[in-house]
Structure 1
Amino acid sequence: MTDLSRRTGLAAATAALLTGAAAPASAVAPRRERALQRHVEAILATGVTGVLAEVQGAHGRTAARAGVADLTVKDPVPWGAYYRIGSDTKTFTATLLLQLVGEGRLKLTDTVERWLPGAVRGHGNDGRRITVTNLLRQTSGLNDYFAVAADPADLTPEAYRRDRFRPQTPEEQLTAALSKPPEWLPDADDPAGERRWAYSNTNYVVAGLLIEAVTGRPWAQELHERIIEPLGLRATLTPGTSSYVPRPTATGYTYFPNGTRPVDTTLGFGGGADGCLISTPRDHGVFLRALLGGRLLRPAELAAMRRTVPVKDWIPADGVRYGLGIAWRPVTGRRDGIWFHGGTSLGCVSECGVTPDGATAVTSAAFTLRLDSRERSERQSRAALRMVDGVLGAASGAGR
């Protein structure tokens, strides 16, 4: 057990959340169970093959599922299924860096150049103008390595099968991002105060490299010893170069552009500190509740995480603000809104939310990704967001 768990008693604090059967027996009123089930079925109705969701709070735990684990066998989605949480990984990575800040091992105002000399240079990119805050708040101006390297011709089933066992190193991803000029450079006089925002996976690739530079240990080891082990997240893992998802799971399907049938895209390399984690609804919910409940970060660092800038081009677009690895949005029924992120990988969409006090969290996995139609993709996203907002907007608490 790490020093963090000894200081805060995390293992004891989370024990109650980590017990129970695979299909948790919920103490919540039947109407709440029915409401969650209706939301899950609404997501399924948008064209998803299978959905799994869970709510954790003072009432206990309740789960709902709909659809099938596989279109051939047609068994139900298994309780406690593993899935790729995609960019929800970013919240874990931001938490790690903020823990290091709280320990005085680096500062949010430290530049990338301070810890990774010469790593962010070329084509106008300049690590001397990018701070830790810029990385975590997505205000660095760095290009997204995925967008730079993306070729529409590669969005095909054939290209997927060709590359599904081909990992990329963080250095390769960073090289791709630096092959073009940045979208902007943060203000030289106050880079950490930059408010221009653009989502870039590269920011969290660099964040992972920073964690390794500061600690002298792999990002995955820091994640395990600082978060996974203390919280008892027995079903959360970093896959490394493996393209497999543990069982039980559900087949992840992708509708590719110009395709008419879903393609099994369960296997694939999921990245690193920017989006590789595999987890379950229960484990993800335990993490979110511990984070917003103040059990992973000191007050000053949690407050820093919650300092936000306005966001554009995010569904829903109205009122979303991005902090350090986590986002906020207004929700009907809560004057203090909710915190969330979300993650996408081939074959799976993770959607989540947590109340500002960490009292209630909702987590979900939809085992279908729509790349064939923006309209269908947005319909699926909005159904998942309605579920999160409906659950958390109805959750009791001081914020209502």
Structure 2
Amino acid sequence: MPRLRTLLALPVLLAPAASSAPSAPPADALLPLLVTQGGAPAAALLTRDKTGTSYFRAGHGITRADHFRAGSVTKTFIATVVLQLAAEHRLKLSDTVEQHLPGLVRGAGNDGRALTLRSLLTHTSGLYDFTAATGGVVPLTPRQALRISLAHPPAHRGRFSYSNTNYVLLGLVVEQVTRRSYAAEAERRVIAPLGLKGTSFPGSRTALPSPHGRAYATDGTDVTELDPRVAGAAGELVTTLADLDRFYAALLDGRLLPPHWLREMLDTRTAHGSYGMGLYPVTLPCGTKVWGHNGRISGSYVRTAATIDGRRVLTFRVDTDAVADPALEPALLAAEFCPRTS
């Protein structure tokens, strides 16, 4: 199979089951299907609720403590930092890109004077996704990624169009406002306060921290060694299952953002229901809505979803680029978050 060209693919929802259908199996019972039907060498799942955590795995060479690349889950961390800065009145979501990065966004009909930070956060800027040209496997500096993007005309502004370029720009805005790197700000504001000891922004380091398993492209190539600059602020993060569960629980229960700014993060109106700011909702067949993000980068696919209050969180991962059967992800979410009937 060819390498995937983006760092995020929105999930496909299952049709609602008939009321007479038998109860769905628990998520851990479905996990082995990520290996047998999903084509992954191994899969792991960690859930968190008021009773504690539960861990399950399928396949070989994967453990609970493994560090792995989280791809576009990075965007939730970056969006959180931007919204914290907004809460501190150090920027406004209505600010234009031009105000913070003068002259940087120009060319092929792109104009930073017409783009707001809100449009970057919600993927409604219309900026071309640079990973569509690089396949998400070419290490780039932020400005190199922007040059690729700005060589292409924008899509229709105001409509949701997922683009990693948006979050590369937000990383630069964070650096301009704080005079520190987006990685340093995320460490200071999110990672350290929550005690996410397995989470880091590796920069150009190609090796994963220990412990870790192997990572495989969809063609079976070992891609454990990877330059994270293929994604930058749009997908650089390295983390663990436990850290992602803890982060999303803390974010959604209000420990990282004041109530007004958490509501802004969860407001999907700008993107017409598709996306908030670094998070997106999925309504399951039973009517339950969960919030989270997925991440795809060469050798790793991860998905985190949580209830809106953060009291129940599920994170699963596979050690390859994608899950071959698109029905498995929504089935896992429904099995975890939908009430079971006898």
- Using the size of structure 2 for normalisation, the TM-score is 0.87
Residue among 165, 168, 173 paired with 2:140: 168
Q: Which amino acid in structure 1 is aligned with residue 227 of structure 2?
A: F
- Tell me how far apart the structure 2 counterparts of residues 354 and 391 of structure 1 sit (CA, whole Å): 10
**C-alpha displacement at 1:95, in angstroms?**
0.5
Q: Aligned partner of 1:341: which letter?
A: H
> What's the counterpart of residue 312 of structure 2?
360
Aligned residue number for residue 67 of structure 1: 59
Greater share of residues in helix: 1
In structure 1, how many angstroms separate the alpha carbons of the residues matched to 2:227 and 2:210?
17
Which of 278, 290, 296 does residue 238 from structure 2 map onto?
278
Match of 2:19 in 1: none
Question: What residue number does 2:8 align with?
Answer: none
Aligned-pair distance for 1:171?
A: 0.9
Which of 45, 50, 55 is matched with 2:42 structurally?
A: 50
Question: Would the aligned equivalents of 2:64 and 2:241 in 1 still touch at CA under 8 Å?
Answer: no
User: What residue is the counterpart of 1:22 in the other structure?
Assistant: none
Q: C-alpha separation between the residues in 1 aligned to 2:339 and 2:57?
A: 20
The Cα of 1:393 is off from its aligned counterpart by 2.2
| Superposed displacement of residue 246, structure 1 | 1.4
Secondary structure (helix, strand or coil) at the match of 1:87 reads: helix
- What's the counterpart of residue 92 of structure 2? 107
User: Quick one: distance in 2 between partners of 1:284 and 1:141?
Assistant: 29
CA displacement at 1:341 relative to structure 2: 1.1
Q: 1:120 is matched by which residue type in structure 2?
A: V
Partners of 1:104 and 1:83 lie apart in 2 by 34
1:254 aligns with 2:217: yes
d(CA) in 2 for partners of 1:350, 1:309: 26
Please state how far the C-alpha of 1:149 moved relative to its aligned partner.
3.7
- Aligned residue in 1 for 2:328: 383
Partner of 2:110: 125
Q: Which residue of 1 aligns with 2:250?
A: 290
CA deviation after TM superposition for structure 1 residue 378, in Å: 4.7
Alignment partners' CA distance in 2, 1:114 and 1:389: 43
Contact 1:36 1:64 in 2 (8 A): no
Partners of 2:318 and 2:329 in 1: how far apart? Answer: 9
Among 73, 93, 97, the alignment partner of 1:88 is: 73
Residue matched to 1:137: 122
How far apart are the structure 2 equivalents of 1:177 and 1:307? 27
CA RMSD of the aligned region, Å? 1.9
State the AA in 2 paired with 1:214. V
Match in the other structure for 1:267: 225
User: How far apart in 1 are the matches of 2:94 and 2:214?
Assistant: 43
1:69-89 Cα offsets, whole Å, 9 max, x none, are 1xxxxxxx2221111110010
Q: Determine the structure 2 residue equivalent to 1:244.
A: 207
* Distance in 1 separating the partners of 2:243 and 2:190: 11
Determine the C-alpha separation between the residues in 2 that align with 1:97 and 1:37. 35
Distance apart, 1:269 and its partner CA = 1.8
Q: Could you say which structure has the larger radius of gyration?
A: 1
1:341 aligned counterpart, secondary structure: strand
- How big is the shift at 1:273? 1.1
Q: Mean alpha-carbon deviation: is it higher for 384-393 or for 267-276?
A: 384-393
The share of aligned pairs that are identical, in percent, is: 36
8 A contact 1:352–1:388 mirrored in 2: no
Judged with a 3 Å threshold, the aligned counterparts in structure 2 of structure 1 residues 235 and 281 are, in CA distance, closer, same or farther, namely same
* Partner Cα separation in structure 1 for residue 232 and residue 202 of structure 2: 9
| Offset from partner CA, 1:133-177 (integer Å, 9 cap, x none) | 100000000000111344xxxx9xxxx7xx6xxx32111111111
2:298 corresponds, among 342, 346, 354, to 346
Kindly indicate whether residue 279 of structure 2 is the aligned counterpart of residue 331 of structure 1. Answer: no
> CA-to-partner distance for each residue in 1:43-85, whole Å, 9 max, x for gaps?
121221011110001110010001011xxxxxxx222111111
Residue of structure 2 in register with 1:202 after alignment: 165
Give the secondary structure class of the aligned counterpart of 1:273. Answer: helix
For residue 5 of structure 1, what is the aligned residue in structure 2? Answer: none
Using the alignment, how far apart are the partners of 1:125 and 1:90 within structure 2?
22
**Which consecutive aligned stretches of 4+ in structure 1 deviate over 6 angstroms post-superposition?**
none
- Looking at structure 2, the residues matched to 134 and 389 of structure 1 have their Cα atoms a distance apart, in angstroms, of 31
Larger relative contact order (C-alpha < 8 A, sep ≥ 6)? 2
Count of residues paired in the alignment: 313
- SS of residue matched to 1:91: helix
Mapped partners of 1:339, 1:121: distance in 2: 34
Q: Tell me, what secondary structure is at the counterpart of 2:254? A: coil
Question: Structure 1: which 5+ residue stretches go unaligned?
Answer: 1-33, 70-76, 187-193, 257-261, 313-319, 371-376, 396-400
**1:242, distance to aligned residue in structure 2 (A):** 0.8
CA distance in 2, matches of 1:65, 1:48: 12
SS at match of 2:207: coil
Query: Which residue is 2:4 aligned to?
Result: none
Whether the 8 Å contact between 1:238 and 1:277 is mirrored in structure 2 is yes
- The code of the aligned residue for 2:224 comes to T
Q: Report how far residue 311 of structure 1 moved.
A: 6.9
Give the TM-score, by structure 1 length.
0.75
